[in-house]
Amino acid sequence: MYSDDPGMVMEWLCDAWRCRFNQCRSKRRKYDAEHELVPIGGHVTDLTCSQARQACPWLGAVPTLILESAQRIETVEWYANAKRRKTQRKQHQRIGRMPRFRSRKRGPLSFVCWYDGGRNACYRQVNRSHGIVAITGQNPVGRRTGGVRWRVEIHVRVSQSIRPYTSIIVNWSERTLVFSNPPRPLDVADTHRIIGIDRGAVHQAATSGGGLLDLPKAKLMKIDREIKRRQRAQTRKAKTAGYGNMRDYLKAGASKRYRREQTRIRLLYRRAHNITADWMQKTSTRLIMENDVIVVEDLNLAGMTRAPKPKSDGHGGYRPNGRAAKRGLNRVMRRSCLGLLETCLDYKIGLLDGRRMLIRVNPAYTSRTCAVCGYCDEENRESQAVFRCKHCGHTANADLNAAVNILIRGVHRLSGMDDARQTSSVQDVGSPLWMSRATLVCEPRLAPDGLGGIPRL
């Protein structure tokens, strides 16, 4: 370091971090007009930190934890933006461009320094509202006195205690300093409750406590009707222009009104997605706050939404395989977002340091097994909503009955009874199984006449 001016030293650190960031960014590629991958800046600077110090002597005294942070942040920013563009395309949002080089004129003067267990960027409290962050380093070999290190102290004003952090972000243009730390776990209390959840297309979630949780379908149906109305308007515009199909119309160049309708349709899709995501976030948070253990089915959603295989008739044609009906069912299941609720529960429970638990159980036969006597038969489920046991006569909502069966399997998972099987005798079949007998309902029980139903999911 060759200056005692604090402002000049801070600008030097900011410029060094930006230089190293742009060196790492120069390795990224983009598609040119000929659809070939070329470097985004036309020139690639593929240097390690030590090579960058030798190529740029003014980087020699920059701390290693500052130079290394530029490479990590550039990588995270690039791939996060690429994933965000994919999500925006899927959610009908306006797709943003990929990140570019950082400019000294347009962007703020800033840098990042790792804490790395106290190797650098150490913070100490001075009094109740002030603290000091110290950044240390040393000049390169041959231009320093043995054992001499330079030190920059940044005085900060704090309004609360500083939690353990992993790095600091210094914005010298705005004179701010941010401590990066992991998110704080939610403040939850022990409820000593366990709940089973059955997910479906009609009711998004049915709980073992007797609750049915549904999306705001009135709002979603209103948005769906508006989307269809605008799509019909787009079709009329193509026919008015004299085109028989939309492909030829779009290839020739759509009108401004058509593109305006497309923008409005994209916004409507976005609004429907926001409503669904908001409901899932609030519902998952409420379930976590009210229950210690949550049991869900381990569903194979990719297999459930897979299109049926074609059936050949042996004469060059194909027999009906229910593809149209399956396509409609898949549309309903995707609209219900069966996997989003489990995803929200999974990542939120992971932030609670083991104070909540999510259990996934085998979903086989949960929708056709009686939660009272344990009798399993295909005919138990009379319709989508009605469950009536052919053995004991128990009647309930089919989704609520399945939620109780999921809860039973979760309790057996906690008690180590995963491999338990039902007894072959039916002499005590009238006694309730819920939370009273240590038998796992995972195989169909034979009817008294010896004829059992065909087990299907």
Helix (H/G/I), strand (E/B), else coil: 160: coil
Question: According to DSSP H, which parts of 189-255 are helical?
Answer: 217-240, 246-252
What does the pLDDT average to over 434-452? 34
Paired with 378 in beta bridges are: none
The H helix count followed by the E strand count for the chain is: 10, 17
Higher per-residue confidence, 13 vs 453: 13
Q: What are the pLDDT digits (tens) for 278-333?
A: 999 999 999 999 999 999 999 888 888 888 888 888 888 888 888 888 888 888 88
Residues 264 and 144 in one domain: no
- Listed residues 343, 361, 379: the one ending a domain: 361
223 has a pLDDT exceeding 50: yes
Q: What are the pLDDT digits (tens) for 64-74?
A: 999 999 999 99
Assigned domain for 402 exists: no
Paired with 150 in beta bridges are: 137
Residues 101 and 72 in one domain: yes
Of the pLDDT bands very low, low, confident and very high (cuts 50, 70, 90), residue 446 is: very low
Q: What is the per-residue pLDDT for 301? A: 82
Q: What is the per-residue pLDDT for 345? A: 93
Q: Which domain, by its residues, includes 323?
A: 194-361
196 has a pLDDT exceeding 90: yes
Residues 153 and 14 in one domain: yes
Residues 199 and 316 in one domain: yes
Residues 233 and 322 in one domain: yes
Helix (H/G/I), strand (E/B), else coil: 7: helix
- The three-state (H, E, C) secondary structure of 364-377, written as one string: CCCCCECCCCCCEC
Q: What is the per-residue pLDDT for 418? A: 60
Q: Are 434 and 404 in contact (CB under 8 A)?
A: yes
Higher per-residue confidence, 455 vs 334: 334
Q: What are the pLDDT digits (tens) for 355-376?
A: 899 999 999 999 889 999 889 9
Residues 291 and 313 in one domain: yes
Task: Kindly list the distances between the CA atom of residue 441 and the CA atoms of 18, 84, 135, 381, 405, in Å, as whole numbers in the listed order.
Answer: 62, 43, 62, 16, 8
Residues 118 and 210 in one domain: no
CA dist., res. 45 & res. 47, Å (int) = 6
Assigned domain for 449 exists: no
| Residue 281: partners with Cβ closer than 8 Å, 6 or more residues away | 344
On the CB side of 102, CA atoms within 13 Å amount to 23
Assigned domain for 186 exists: no
Assigned domain for 138 exists: yes
Residues 274 and 313 in one domain: yes
Q: What is the per-residue pLDDT for 193? A: 93
Residues 89 and 204 in one domain: no
91 has a pLDDT exceeding 80: no
| Residue 299: partners with Cβ closer than 8 Å, 6 or more residues away | 199, 338, 339, 342, 363
451 has a pLDDT exceeding 60: no
Q: What are the pLDDT digits (tens) for 399-438?
A: 999 999 999 999 998 887 664 433 222 333 333 333 333 3
> What is the helix, strand, coil percentage profile of the chain, to 5?
40, 15, 45
Residues 119 and 249 in one domain: no
Assigned domain for 386 exists: no
Residue 161 phi/psi, 5-degree rounding, is: -65, 145
- Listed residues 180, 206, 228: the one ending a domain: 180
CA dist., res. 53 & res. 65, Å (int) = 13
What does the pLDDT average to over 23-28? 92
Q: Are 370 and 380 in contact (CB under 8 A)?
A: yes
What does the pLDDT average to over 171-193? 87
Residues 295 and 354 in one domain: yes
Q: Are 267 and 275 in contact (CB under 8 A)?
A: no
Residues 112 and 47 in one domain: yes
DSSP letter at 355? Answer: S
Assigned domain for 188 exists: no
Count CB atoms within 10 A of the CB of residue 160: 6
Q: What are the pLDDT digits (tens) for 371-408?
A: 998 899 888 988 888 999 998 889 999 999 999 999 99
Assigned domain for 436 exists: no
**Extended strands (E) in 29-77:** 29-31, 37-39
Assigned domain for 248 exists: yes
Total number of domains in the chain: 2
Of the pLDDT bands very low, low, confident and very high (cuts 50, 70, 90), residue 147 is: low
- Listed residues 332, 361, 390: the one ending a domain: 361
To the nearest 10 degrees (0 to 180), the angle between helices 217-240 and 256-290 is 160
107 has a pLDDT exceeding 50: yes
Token match 């999510």: residue? 358
